[in-house]
Amino acid sequence: MVGAAALKIECLHQRNGRSSRQKFNPGATFFLPIALAIASLPLGGCGGDSSPSSSTASQSSSTGAPPAPAPTTPAATPTTPAPAPVNPTAIPGVEKKSIRSWVSCDGTSDDATGVAKAFAAAAHAAFTLVVDCPVRIHTGLDISRTIFIDDGTSVEFTETGKFTVDNTLFPAFVIANSSNITLTDWNVEYDASVPVNRIVGGYSEAYHYTPGIQPAGAFNDYGITQWLAKHRGITFDVREGYVTSLWSGNTNVCAVFFISGDSSQVTVTGLRIGVPAAAGGDRFIPVVFSLNPNFKSNQTVTAKTPITAEFVAVPHDLTFSNVSFDGTYMGWVGSTHDTVLENIQSRRYGDLQDSQGNNVGGIEKWFMPPHLVYFAHYADSTDPALLNRNIQIKDVVDEGVRIGRARDTAGEVRSGNALSLKIGCNDCSVDNYKTARPDGFLDVLSSDGLTISNVVASYNSSFVNNLYPGWRFPLAPYSNLTFENISLTDEAPSTAYPPIYSATDPSNHNIEISNVHVTLNRWVGTGSRLLPTIAGQSNQISLNYSITADSSGMMLAQSGTVETTLQATPTASTTGAVVDLGWSSLGANNCAGSGAWTGGLPMNGTRTSKITTPGDYDFTLECRNAGSASSATMQIVVGK
């Protein structure tokens, strides 16, 4: 019950704009009323992704309980005898040691303790740890089994090396305020199932079971908090209120790799992580990498410590290269800066679900809508230094093999869809990105200086029950954005929701969209126009739409305060066929045609054109006012 009470307090803190680390003191006089209110608490905590402002930090709280006593020494348990140690030195002149000296290497015995000892021995550049055999790391509900990767740790895998992990509600590996870590050619298999109901009986620590406190919160308030106190010189002073490691949300702590605080110079190359080929969507990896703000080392923090860059850091200077996923919910989630993701491949993906494919998103949809990449600005701070910045994402293939159904249906509260890329970032770039996720391509969160280019994306609006577009702008404002060379295709038989949703905030500034082409089979939308509205100042927009069913095309052109739309049906015909043209303008006081038609035109109108000679014909419409002009061109291809 303590965990649920803390969740209630956390919701109250969030609704009052307070930090998620400010939790209650169980000895305070308001503890009993809070406990009495637990029965009305929804399992989904403070909500999922139902609003554009949802962030990785705005879910349910951690335990809200005082720090647990130091872990006791576990009782001895029978173990499988390890084989005789091999010579640990692998390469002359380079200190490398095989993990065989610490683990059984049979792939079935629980070697979590041995792995932790091996990692500790390899820290501080003592040697490169080589994983050259199959190793099972069992976590269960025991938070003491999370493995912390310390400064100067290098771990590489050979072709015969493999980790099998089964963490669910808290991480398998943690990098907390640590640096100079190199993980090379890891081969990880995930063999577990995250419960759709995150409220479980309790948690364990060093074989001691504590009922009533949820494992995710226990990991935050006891596991990582105590580790930071012991190894990073952080004093958590509770005299001004309860304070722990910064809470990152129930979804984030499910990660296989949890990277926290002032962690830097972390390089991950050649990682392969997946699930068994026969695994269902209920047994997918919840999160691969979670990047989370936390307190810096060597300081005293209280409940009143400001969430600013003086006291808090986000992981930075990270590199993820040549990484492949197969069977994930979330790939990356969190906040970072000076980070590179390159040569990324993802095959199967899904959403949290039970073994029957139901309860998608979990009970009360507690699990955030998953994405291959989800970088959101840290919501609990107004310090610009903690915002996402200088992230480069390039050469990504998201194959989009979807397992399971979409979480939202008509008539219920929406929590979001599992589109490929969700990003809010300053001075960042995404280049050469391919995705075939039926859930959608892109959510652009508030950003300044974001460029997305060279994209081939397809989705299926019917898969998401006609509730979401393929690309949207859910959280303004936006400044200095560039989208160029992008192809977006809706593979649904009919499209009822605009493929690109509008960005209507008048404070938007300098949004450039060029050479962006949208293809759909048939438009059946009612109550909304097919083309988006991109509001703001100094925008330059050029959007082309093709509709297969009637071979029609549309172009939206916007420059400054003038918007021009031109439509043609059909865009391909034979000689003698009639082409219907329609156009409209906003903010203009005169329009004119050029190319295949010439002369002045009204601000809005229609016209038919009969073309009797084969060839390519460009119909250009230019509309202007005293300060701006925009032009749209439709090409009509006429055959014999």
* Mean local confidence (pLDDT), 26-50: 29
Q: What is the pLDDT of residue 276?
A: 97
* Mean local confidence (pLDDT), 135-162: 97
Task: Give the phi and the psi of residue 352 in degrees, each rounded to 5.
Answer: -50, 135
Mean confidence (pLDDT) of the chain: 87
Q: What is the pLDDT of residue 97?
A: 98
489-508: burial string, b at 16+ Cβ within 10 Å, e else: bbbbeebbbbbbbbbeeeeb
Q: 63 or 636, which is more confident?
A: 636
Q: What is the pLDDT of residue 597?
A: 94
Residue 583 makes CB contacts below 8 A (sequence gap 6+) with: 564, 565, 566, 567, 591, 601, 604, 605, 606, 621, 632
Q: 40 or 454, which is more confident?
A: 454
CA pair distance 636, 619, nearest whole angstrom: 8
Q: What is the pLDDT of residue 36?
A: 22
* Mean local confidence (pLDDT), 31-57: 31
* Mean local confidence (pLDDT), 505-509: 96
Q: What is the pLDDT of residue 74?
A: 35
* Mean local confidence (pLDDT), 491-503: 97
> 528: pLDDT confidence band, cut at 50, 70 and 90?
confident
Q: 640 or 402, which is more confident?
A: 402
CA pair distance 514, 453, nearest whole angstrom: 10
* Mean local confidence (pLDDT), 277-298: 98
pLDDT in tens, 354-385: 999 999 999 999 999 999 999 999 988 889 99
The two beta strands, 615-624 and 294-295, are: unpaired
pLDDT in tens, 303-313: 999 999 999 99
pLDDT in tens, 464-494: 999 999 999 999 999 999 999 999 999 999 9
Q: What is the pLDDT of residue 577?
A: 86
pLDDT in tens, 199-249: 999 999 998 999 999 999 999 999 999 999 999 999 999 999 999 999 999
Residue 66 has pLDDT above 70, yes or no: no
What CATH code is assigned to 570-640? 2.60.40.10
Range(s) of the chain covered by CATH 2.60.40.10: 570-640
Burial (Cβ within 10 Å: 0-12, 13-18, ≥19) of residue 28:
exposed
> Of the candidates 371, 321, 369, 310, which has an alpha carbon nearest to the alpha carbon of residue 345?
321
| Cα of 2 vs its chain's centroid, Å | 30
Is 408 in a helix, a strand, or coil? coil
Say which range, 56-60, 220-224, 317-321, has the weakest mean pLDDT.
Answer: 56-60
| Whether the Cβ atoms of residue 458 and residue 491 lie closer than 8 Å to each other | yes
Beta bridge partners of 601: 591
Residue 25 makes CB contacts below 8 A (sequence gap 6+) with: 31, 66, 238, 241, 242
* Mean local confidence (pLDDT), 115-133: 98
CA pair distance 38, 50, nearest whole angstrom: 23
The two beta strands, 154-157 and 128-131, are: parallel
> Of the candidates 126, 123, 127, 99, which has an alpha carbon nearest to the alpha carbon of residue 113?
99
| Cα of 113 vs its chain's centroid, Å | 31
CA pair distance 386, 78, nearest whole angstrom: 47
Q: State the CB neighbour count (10 A cutoff) for residue 341.
A: 25
CA pair distance 517, 358, nearest whole angstrom: 36
Q: What is the pLDDT of residue 139?
A: 95
| Whether the Cβ atoms of residue 393 and residue 431 lie closer than 8 Å to each other | yes
- How many residues belong to the chain? 640
* Mean local confidence (pLDDT), 494-522: 97
> 94: pLDDT confidence band, cut at 50, 70 and 90?
low
Residue 34 has pLDDT above 50, yes or no: no
Q: What proportion of the chain, given as a percentage, has pLDDT over 70?
A: 85
Tell me the pTM. Answer: 0.87
Say which range, 44-48, 122-126, 633-637, has the weakest mean pLDDT.
Answer: 44-48
pLDDT in tens, 561-606: 999 999 999 999 898 889 999 999 999 999 999 999 999 999 999 9
